[in-house]
Amino acid sequence: MMELNVKHTSELAPVELVEIFEARTAVFVVEQNCAYQEVDRTDFDALHVRLLKNHQLVAYARIYFSQDDVHFGRVLVVANERGKGFGRTLLEGVLETIQERFPSHPVQIQAQAYLMSFYASFGFDPVSAEYLEDGIPHVDMVKV
């Protein structure tokens, strides 16, 4: 059974928050071999979007509002669930959540460069040249 779950940080149970941080660290620090401050102050006031299969985390993203723009990031699919379309399902839920909670605000992301076509399929356009963020090629993209 699949479930899309959206909660503010303050609504998450400790076990849910640990599960999120564990998955993010596994992907962004360990798997991508990238030493950086993965858990940051943005987590205090973020919406955490979890795609759950049989109550287990399979995909995740966080949404946050900054000035006049909405951002999402930390997008992941856990390693043993990749290639099954869960990233697309998650992004559909993220964009639906943004539309419901932050209508008429542009959405900005820092996309890993290899995922540009994936995000373009959701209507995102590149607005920067490719640059390195923590040693990984990224491109800024916007959906208006």
Nearest CA to 52 out of 60, 43, 44 is that of 60
Break the chain into its structural domains and give their ranges: 2-105
Query: Could you tell me which residues come within 8 angstroms of residue 24 by beta carbon, excluding any fewer than 6 positions away?
Result: 38, 39, 60, 74, 76
Percent of the chain with pLDDT over 90: 85
Percent of the chain with pLDDT over 70: 100
Q: Is the pLDDT of residue 36 over 90?
A: no
Q: Which CATH class is domain 2-105?
A: alpha beta
Q: Is the pLDDT of residue 134 over 90?
A: no
Model confidence at 61, pLDDT cuts 50, 70, 90, reads very high
Model confidence at 64, pLDDT cuts 50, 70, 90, reads very high
Region 100-125 average pLDDT: 95
Each residue of 92-106: pLDDT tens digit? 999 999 999 999 899
Model confidence at 144, pLDDT cuts 50, 70, 90, reads confident
pLDDT score at 100: 96
Query: Could you tell me which residues come within 8 angstroms of residue 103 by beta carbon, excluding any fewer than 6 positions away?
Result: none
